[in-house]
A and B are shown apart, each in its own frame.
Chain A
């Protein structure tokens, strides 16, 4: 098997594969994993990948990924695959796709945007480009790049 399963197999859980090298920690951040949750978590960083050069892999035992989380993951890891592991085997593979609209998760970078200035304001972005990712605020037209998204997730 590819990369020879550098870390021990997990019985049930999720493997997020094909994360661009260096972004595994950002994926953990999206998932809210700090390390004190008790699940076993394995990070594989900077391994060779045929598809994307160098990649990271995140493996988490006993954890499912919800829709908001997978949306956020696509924004920083557009080629990621989510593998659902049951009884040591890959039971299901989900290929992620970048959503057309992203509501409420990210913040508009324009401090004068209404979404940052009204208690009822909710951010809403439409993707105007998928490679590279560019999101545009539906209210003020300010763009978010992949770097901006990464920075927001990591901050």
Chain B
């Protein structure tokens, strides 16, 4: 495996191999890659993703260099992305990049001869979040095939949604419901390529009892022309007790986090709430990914 730019960059077998390696790591298998250096190029701030990549690298005994915001780097002096990447590839074995521009990771991968991992490029993709998402589902149901998925919220600007939809093409979901207010429907460019059934809906209520996985993303206020519109839609996409009570037994709620108020905090104790468990898998799955890319 070379670069990880898109959720398409993994075959079904590669997803499953990474899951089983993560399982071994969780069971205590120690893998050390002491000589290696990971460069983190976080041009856009991140807490969770940057920390989990750093923790994963350090658990493998690797060194981490890089920056977690543009401030204080030569980027603010006007250095272009290509030059920053050329510098970082000289200093490391693998570059993890987050950038505000769509396609920045692919561009970086073309510049760099060292592997590049996309940790989020604009509103485009976030394939390692998909690894976390699918791994959580796989550990819960022991399969990804045959399940019903409901993706709720902002399906247009959420990069985790694009990557998840693409990652699911490697499996055989039974049906995928795309539940969003009309202006935030999933991008047609992404939908066009999917090899499984999907249904677009405005409201979750008709399908809730059928869903195995409810994947929630935040609706951002900035996406709406005015506050009134936003307040109107906000309600119907908030996961509260009313929604959870209509969910089927054994079904789960996932969220890439950070959440603001799209999931009522009362839900956190529900057996359906798996988003903190999901977050806990972020480190082992990224350890497994590093091992796959860099070799033991």
Measured in the bound complex, the distance between the Cα atoms of B190 and A143 in whole Å is 10
A97-128 toward B: CB 8 Å interface, digit per residue (1/0)? 00000000000001011110111110000001
Rounded to whole Å, the gap between the CB of A18 and the closest CB of chain B is 29
Q: Which residues of A contact B (CB under 8 A)?
A: 110, 112-115, 117-121, 128, 136-143
Interface of B is mostly: mixed
Measured in the bound complex, the distance between the Cα atoms of B82 and A117 in whole Å is 11
Question: Which of B98-106, B217-225, B262-270 touches A?
Answer: B98-106
Q: Is residue B124 within 8 Å, beta carbon to beta carbon, of the partner chain? A: yes
Which chain A positions have C-beta within 8 A of B106?
A: 114, 138-139
Partner of A115, one of B103, B122, B123, B192: B103
Question: Known contacts being A136-B189, A140-B124, is A120 close to B80, with CB within 8 Å?
Answer: yes
Q: Contact at B189–A139, with CB atoms within 8 Å? A: no
Q: Contact at B189–A143, with CB atoms within 8 Å? A: yes
Could you name 6 residue pairs across A and B whose Cβ atoms are closer than 8 Å? Answer: A112-B102, A114-B106, A114-B121, A118-B82, A139-B102, A139-B103
Rounded to whole Å, the gap between the CB of A117 and the closest CB of chain B is 5
Q: Contact at A112–B123, with CB atoms within 8 Å? A: yes
Measured in the bound complex, the distance between the Cα atoms of B99 and A128 in whole Å is 27
Rounded to whole Å, the gap between the CB of A116 and the closest CB of chain B is 8
Which chain B positions have C-beta within 8 A of A112?
A: 100-102, 122-123
Interface magnitude class on chain B = 20 to 34
Measured in the bound complex, the distance between the Cα atoms of B187 and A110 in whole Å is 13
Question: Known contacts being A118-B81, A119-B80, is A141 close to B187, with CB within 8 Å?
Answer: yes
Question: Known contacts being A120-B82, A140-B102, A141-B124, is A114 close to B192, with CB within 8 Å?
Answer: no
Q: Is residue B107 within 8 Å, beta carbon to beta carbon, of the partner chain? A: yes
Which chain B positions have C-beta within 8 A of A141?
A: 102, 124, 162, 187, 189-190
Measured in the bound complex, the distance between the Cα atoms of B107 and A140 in whole Å is 10
Rounded to whole Å, the gap between the CB of B44 and the closest CB of chain A is 12
Measured in the bound complex, the distance between the Cα atoms of B277 and A47 in whole Å is 68
Measured in the bound complex, the distance between the Cα atoms of B106 and A113 in whole Å is 11
Q: Contact at A113–B102, with CB atoms within 8 Å? A: yes
Q: Contact at A114–B102, with CB atoms within 8 Å? A: yes
Closest to B190 in A: A141
Measured in the bound complex, the distance between the Cα atoms of B110 and A139 in whole Å is 11
Measured in the bound complex, the distance between the Cα atoms of B250 and A151 in whole Å is 52
Measured in the bound complex, the distance between the Cα atoms of B81 and A112 in whole Å is 14
Q: Contact at A128–B107, with CB atoms within 8 Å? A: no
B101-121 toward A: CB 8 Å interface, digit per residue (1/0)? 111101100010000000001
Which chain B positions have C-beta within 8 A of A110?
A: 102
Which chain B positions have C-beta within 8 A of A128?
A: 192
Measured in the bound complex, the distance between the Cα atoms of B122 and A136 in whole Å is 17
Measured in the bound complex, the distance between the Cα atoms of B115 and A150 in whole Å is 38
Q: Contact at B107–A114, with CB atoms within 8 Å? A: yes
Which chain A positions have C-beta within 8 A of B162?
A: 141
Which chain B positions have C-beta within 8 A of A121?
A: 107
Measured in the bound complex, the distance between the Cα atoms of B104 and A140 in whole Å is 9
